[in-house]
């Protein structure tokens, strides 16, 4: 420490109760004592506490919008508003995505096999979306969730692992889970590094294992509603985004997106994807 402030010194072992002595020239003795005293005072001061960010309110608006979007497709189909069978042109089909029908990565998120499949994703997505909105606000949270879910579907399409199709917002649900778990883990670890900081991430992985696993026949034209690969990819993409926006640079990038623009991008992308699907 003394060397750092420009005071030449030596440490000498003298034994006994003293142990070691710090030797400096007599002309700088008082200055050295003062610097050592200041160093000791700094060491005794507790580290500055980091106030956790206050949760952002109003997340229920995004969850209501999510519910409305998932109910819109079956309602439109029941009313006969769609010119084609939405399942024929919109389900998650890796072979078709690999062939260039990229919009299926979006449209598949709004299709469900039956009422129980739909209700499960409505409840899970609304709750996790509400949790994510406390970090970033509804608009930005749902933009991140959609981006992670679409990325997961596109990766699955590029992999093209077999003849099967799938559908459902569960990819988005697990993307939200990964997003929240990874961001909470990274944020806590930046404040305090101990075993408890791993709880959010471990809990997220445990939930993925509990609710994201299921059987699927890759030879069947329609898969079991529980698509393990989609869930795992959704969680992974969400976790990567959660880690990214927990950094200072990522947080600045996200904050630079106006809330109104984030609120418009997701429904605009879905509408555009469905327009392409209906005219394919």
Are both 28 and 113 inside the same structural domain?
no
Asked if the structure places residue 95 within a domain, the reply is: yes
Asked if the structure places residue 213 within a domain, the reply is: yes
Count structural domains, the chain.
2
Phi and psi angles of residue 54, each rounded to the nearest 5 degrees, phi first: -75, 140
Asked if the structure places residue 79 within a domain, the reply is: yes
Residue 210 has a pLDDT of 53
Asked if the structure places residue 259 within a domain, the reply is: yes
Are both 189 and 115 inside the same structural domain?
yes
Residue 23 has a pLDDT of 78
Are both 162 and 35 inside the same structural domain?
no
Residue 208 has a pLDDT of 53
CB neighbourhood size of 48 (10 A): 6
Asked if the structure places residue 188 within a domain, the reply is: yes
CA 156, CA 154: separation in Å to the nearest integer?
Answer: 5
Are both 245 and 112 inside the same structural domain?
yes
Are both 18 and 140 inside the same structural domain?
no
Are both 21 and 147 inside the same structural domain?
no
**Residue 204 is encoded by which pair of tokens?**
């997220």
Are both 259 and 214 inside the same structural domain?
yes
Asked if the structure places residue 50 within a domain, the reply is: no
Q: What's the chain's length in residues?
A: 280
Per-residue pLDDT tens digits of the chain, which is 280 residues long = 677 777 787 777 766 666 677 777 877 788 877 777 777 777 776 655 545 567 788 889 999 999 999 999 999 999 988 889 999 999 999 889 988 999 999 999 999 998 988 998 999 899 999 989 999 999 999 999 999 999 999 998 888 777 788 899 989 999 999 999 888 888 765 555 554 444 445 554 555 555 545 444 344 444 444 478 888 899 999 999 999 998 889 999 999 999 999 999 999 999 999 999 999 8
Are both 19 and 103 inside the same structural domain?
no
CA 121, CA 173: separation in Å to the nearest integer?
Answer: 7
Are both 72 and 185 inside the same structural domain?
yes
Q: Are 91 and 167 in contact (CB under 8 A)?
A: yes
Asked if the structure places residue 54 within a domain, the reply is: no
Residue 216 has a pLDDT of 42
Asked if the structure places residue 267 within a domain, the reply is: yes
End-to-end CA separation in angstroms for the chain: 71
Residue 137 has a pLDDT of 94
Are both 11 and 82 inside the same structural domain?
no
Residue 45 has a pLDDT of 67
Phi and psi angles of residue 212, each rounded to the nearest 5 degrees, phi first: -100, 0
Sign of CA dihedral 257, 258, 263, 265: negative
| CATH code for the domain in which residue 245 is found | 1.20.1540.10
Residue 25 has a pLDDT of 81
Q: Are 233 and 114 in contact (CB under 8 A)?
A: no
Phi and psi angles of residue 226, each rounded to the nearest 5 degrees, phi first: -90, 100
Are both 213 and 187 inside the same structural domain?
yes
- Domain, as residue range, for 21: 3-44
Are both 127 and 251 inside the same structural domain?
yes
């Amino acid at each position: 420490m003394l060397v750092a402030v420009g005071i030449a010194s030596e440490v000498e072992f003298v034994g006994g109760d003293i142990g070691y002595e710090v030797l400096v020239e007599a002309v700088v003795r008082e200055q050295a004592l003062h610097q050592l005293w200041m160093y000791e005072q700094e060491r005794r001061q507790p580290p500055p506490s980091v106030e956790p960010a206050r949760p952002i309110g109003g997340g229920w608006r995004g969850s209501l919008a999510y519910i409305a979007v998932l109910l819109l497709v079956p309602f439109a189909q029941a009313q006969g508003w769609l010119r084609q069978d939405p399942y024929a042109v919109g389900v998650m089909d890796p072979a078709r995505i690999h062939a260039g029908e990229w919009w299926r990565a979006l449209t598949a998120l709004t299709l469900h096999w039956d009422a129980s499949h739909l209700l499960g994703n409505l409840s899970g997505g609304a709750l996790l979306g509400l949790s994510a909105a406390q970090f970033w606000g509804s608009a930005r949270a749902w933009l991140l969730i959609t981006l992670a879910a679409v990325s997961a579907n596109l990766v699955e399409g590029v992999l093209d692992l077999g003849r099967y199709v799938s559908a459902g917002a569960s990819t988005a649900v697990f993307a939200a889970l990964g997003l929240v778990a990874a961001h909470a883990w990274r944020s806590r670890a930046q404040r305090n590094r101990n075993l408890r900081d791993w709880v959010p991430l471990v809990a997220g992985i445990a939930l993925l294992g509990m609710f994201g696993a299921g059987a699927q026949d890759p030879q069947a034209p329609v898969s079991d509603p529980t698509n393990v690969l989609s869930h795992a990819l959704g969680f992974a993409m969400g976790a990567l985004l959660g880690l990214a926006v927990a950094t200072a640079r990522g947080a600045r990038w996200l904050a630079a997106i106006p809330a109104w623009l984030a609120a418009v991008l997701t429904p605009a992308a879905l509408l555009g994807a469905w327009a392409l699907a209906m005219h394919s």
